[in-house]
Amino acid sequence: MLPAPATSGGARTAPNAPSRSRHVLPVVPSRKLLLQCPQVSRGTGSSVKRNSGSDQHPDHVSLVSNMAASEPRSERADARLNRERIIEAARSLFLEHGTAVEMRHLAERAGVGVGTIYRNFPAKSDLIAAVAAAVLDETDAELEAVFAIDDPVELVRRHIATLLRTFSTTAPLAMEMMAAPTFETMRGRVLAWLTDPRLDAAIQRGIRCGCFRADLDIPAARLFIAGAADPLVVMAACPPLTPARLEARLAELVLRALLAPGQPLPADLAPAGQKGT
């Protein structure tokens, strides 16, 4: 067959000539370029087209996808850590100085910028609500451990101590908490602690085993226990009593009222010279 005539200005091309195969070497693009690629930055490496052959390296796509996905996770972890630092710093400052704390002092204590505080808590009421919620969450966990105690005397003592620690922390926030939109939720959680049927069950168990007085009225005893940890009691007693001493004295008074005749106070609560009485 005669070769095809040459066209003007063009090269001769055989009609059925096989195309030349080219081997493309894999290139690992820079991190910046990879993160700008929408398919990679979204972590959908499987959507990248592959050439026929083995010139595409899945490990490269997987590596870049993991690099891109790790950045948001790291940012979220940093944001959570900053939020926790702010709440913890606010909790200690509110306890020391009340809620009239300047944001710059809070930022210094938390080790963050003032802007970070406002990004997390646009208003001080938001921060107060977050501090109160953190305290309530801790108290929920502590009371679960308290209600697992079998000894009714120790259970009542630890119940009082837990509520005293909670209310000593939240007492400076009391007025702001009552004005917060979440107050009803907070109030409901506190009432749940004071009316938990497991506290009634512990008092009943103490009566049956002879630790508590047989003539105890259980609802009245529960009210007495709740009243011992009232925030107003905490505010009135601290100072001159330190929180630790207040906890011991109130636990002693409550247990003296509940214990059956002849039942001793816990050794560390009994005043000097009255051990075992």
- Is residue 112 within 8 A of residue 85, CB to CB? The reply is yes
Q: b/e string for 115-146 if b means 16 or more Cβ within 10 A?
A: ebbeebbeebbebbbbbbebbbeebeebbeeb
Calculate what percentage of the chain has a pLDDT beyond 70. Answer: 62
**Whether 186 contacts 174, CB under 8 Å:** no
Burial category of 251 from C-beta neighbours within 10 Å (exposed 0-12, middle 13-18, buried 19 and up): buried
N-term to C-term CA, the chain: 124
Distance (Å, whole) CA 265 – CA 277: 6
Q: Distance (Å, rounded) from C-alpha 176 to C-alpha 129?
A: 9
- In the chain, the domains with their CATH numbers are 59-122 (1.10.10.60), 128-258 (1.10.357.10)
Total-model pTM: 0.63
pLDDT in tens, 224-277: 888 877 767 766 766 666 777 878 888 888 999 999 999 988 877 766 445 444
Summarize pLDDT for 111-152 with one digit per residue, the tens.
Answer: 999 999 999 999 888 898 898 889 889 999 999 999 999 999
